A and B are shown apart, each in its own frame.
Chain A
Amino acid sequence: MIKVTDIHKTYDDGKVQVHALRGVDVEIKEGEFTAIVGPSGSGKTTLLNVIGGLDTPTQGSVSVSGIDIAKLSENELIDFRLNHIGFVFQSYNLIPVLTAKENVEFLMLLQKRDEAERNERTTKLLKAVGLEDQINKKPNEMSGGQQQRVAVARALASKPDFVLADEPTANLDSKSTANLLDIMLKLNEEENITFVFSTHDQRVIDRAKRVITVEDGKILSDVTK
């Protein structure tokens, strides 16, 4: 489903060249619950951004659901992300002026889905993440763990092929982390949703079904449990 072939990514600010990825090959199949791990600066976020079409590789190809995303124009990439990828960010990044319900509904509005479908799916997703009683709360009225659960619900709202989560538990306490991982594992197991994380949180690594370790822009190990 995701096929990354000989990916290189070099950042060049005119003075210094940084090789963030140096020939990465990886394949992630549907239904996986995969953690990309490594120390800070190892290239795991860059790899996640390249897979998610947020960054373009300097060399190599990225095929997602059979589409070579490196060849898409900027607008096509935005549409592709909307319809194929769900994102969960480290600092939640919800729209602060909207309620939990509106945040989840937002991507479906961009997809021009009808109101009945939006309402049904929003209710279902917020229930799935255990926030059915918080639907009218704004992000600043919720805890970090609750916000991240809304972010997961939002990521799933557009019915993506997979969810990319960039250090989703970095700002959460142990209880919220465990709670979030329970929810994501349940969604993975019961609804076959593919999750790919970048993380260096041992609690996530322990529960991941596959762990890809990245260091200095290369894959050091790839272990399926």
Chain B
Amino acid sequence: MIFKIAFKNIWRNKLRSWTVIIAIALGIFGGLAVISTATGLSDMRQRNAIKTYVSHVQIHDSNYLKYSGLKDLIASEEKVMSYIQESDQVEGVSARLRIESFIQSAGGTSGVVLNGIDPEAEKQVTNIAEMLQEGNYLADFKRKPPILISKKLSTKLNAKIKTTIQCSFTDINGQPATGVFKVVDIFTTSNSMYDEMNAFVRLEDLQSISRLYGSHEIALTLKDEELVEQYREELMAKFPGLHIASWRGIAPELGYADKMMDLVMTIFLVIIMLALAFGIVNTMLMAVLERKKELGMLISVGMNKRKVFWMIVWESIFLALIAGPLGIVTSYLAIQFFGKYGIDLSFAAAGLRSVGLESIIYPTIDSYYYIVISVLVIITAILSCIYPALKALKLNPAETLRTA
């Protein structure tokens, strides 16, 4: 009977109850929308970073990362490469020669890292080949060796496809070395900072100019991202002299972003629950004050205060039980829809690219958040109706019947 009265009581003022239910549902929807969008952004940033420049695992000579010395090539490169290529877990592996260079055209100059790559091997590891304007991936050229530069760098250098540009650097003997290349295509990744700092040439061309016949970096991607750390440990055990790092070690800011996202989500959840709590306290307090006479009557005729307390608690639990699923189902449908079709943020594309993001966001959320939100909504509903319920217990039946 207590349940029945409590449930019927919440419909006595339909407008107020629905206002609270919708407010709670919107709170849940807002929270889950923010969490899923933030997770989608974080995942995209991580995915883009891995696919564009970080890859899953990178191998360097131990000194290379400290000094970026030209001479710090990977020892036993062939042995390492063949070991990796034989592994079933590996999706792609690419050896790179990386030289910091001064790049200039008739229209401008800049500093850049020249990446000497095997185009076909690189295609298995990064997605540069998919980000070209005309699809000439260091393949179609005549006399001058080809180079890929980014849209951002081409603007800075005032260079177009077929523009000749010159790259200068100091070779291993401290002597100036120069290479002349022809721009064969222009790429654009989702990270404008990376674009500005990198250019791609064929490995054999760069080896020939620098007379460095090896590579500074081996990058690889795995078929199963979950096995990254395990495979890295396997490589470390096999090649103890080399510096082998997973994407978390190479780009720790991606991991920090994850942690920051967790913190932001926690703060959002706290804000949502506080808003929910205030909504329920307000509603239930009004419901108690409006019904003082009725509650006084219930106590007068013999309903003990424990039952009165639980009747009010159940009223707010019912509100939460209606609002919670409503908010969660709406959120689920919206996240599924936008997770499939994306949220188009083209109007902010430039800003998003500067932090490594694309302009279409695909929200995603761990199902665990639905459970967390459901449990938190129920707990908050119970906690926040305690004050109004205690207020009801303090009613003096004779006084409420006389004055209410």
Interface residues of B in 305-350 (CB under 8 A from A): 305, 307
Interface size class of A (residues with CB under 8 A): 20 to 34
How far in angstroms is the closest Cβ of chain B from A168? 13
Q: Choose among A82, A91, A109 the residue that contacts B1 (Cβ–Cβ < 8 A).
A: A109
Q: Does A68 have its Cβ within 8 Å of any Cβ on chain B? A: no
A91 closest partner in B (C-beta):
B293
Asked if B8 and A75 sit within 8 Å, CB to CB, the answer is: no
CA–CA, A55 and B398, complex, Å: 6
**Quick one: given A49-B398, A93-B293, A93-B294, are A81 and B8 in contact (CB under 8 Å)?**
no
Interface residues of A in 114-128 (CB under 8 A from B): none
CA–CA, A55 and B298, complex, Å: 15
Asked if A78 and B297 sit within 8 Å, CB to CB, the answer is: no
The stretch of A29-37, A94-102, A173-181 that contacts the partner chain:
A94-102
Which residues of A sit under 8 angstroms from B402, Cβ to Cβ?
A: 45
Residue count of chain B within 8 Å CB distance of chain A: 23
Asked if B398 and A97 sit within 8 Å, CB to CB, the answer is: no
Asked if B302 and A82 sit within 8 Å, CB to CB, the answer is: yes
Which residues of B sit under 8 angstroms from A109, Cβ to Cβ?
A: 1
Which residues of A sit under 8 angstroms from B307, Cβ to Cβ?
A: 110
Asked if B297 and A54 sit within 8 Å, CB to CB, the answer is: no
How far in angstroms is the closest Cβ of chain A from B113? 74
CA–CA, A158 and B300, complex, Å: 13
Which residues of B sit under 8 angstroms from A97, Cβ to Cβ?
A: 5, 8-9, 11-12
B299 closest partner in A (C-beta):
A78
Per-residue contact bits, chain A 135-172, to B (CB 8 Å; 1 contact, 0 not): 00000000000000000001100100000001000000
Q: Does B301 have its Cβ within 8 Å of any Cβ on chain A? A: yes
**What are some 15 contacts across the A-B interface (CB < 8 A)?**
A75-B304, A78-B302, A79-B302, A82-B302, A83-B302, A95-B5, A96-B294, A97-B5, A97-B12, A98-B5, A107-B302, A109-B1, A110-B303, A110-B307, A154-B301
In the complex, besides A78-B304, A95-B5, A107-B301, 6 extra interface pairs with C-beta distance below 8 angstroms are: A52-B300, A89-B297, A97-B8, A97-B12, A98-B8, A158-B302
The 7 A-B pairs at the shortest CB distance, nearest first, are namely: A82-B302, A97-B8, A54-B398, A93-B297, A55-B398, A109-B1, A49-B398
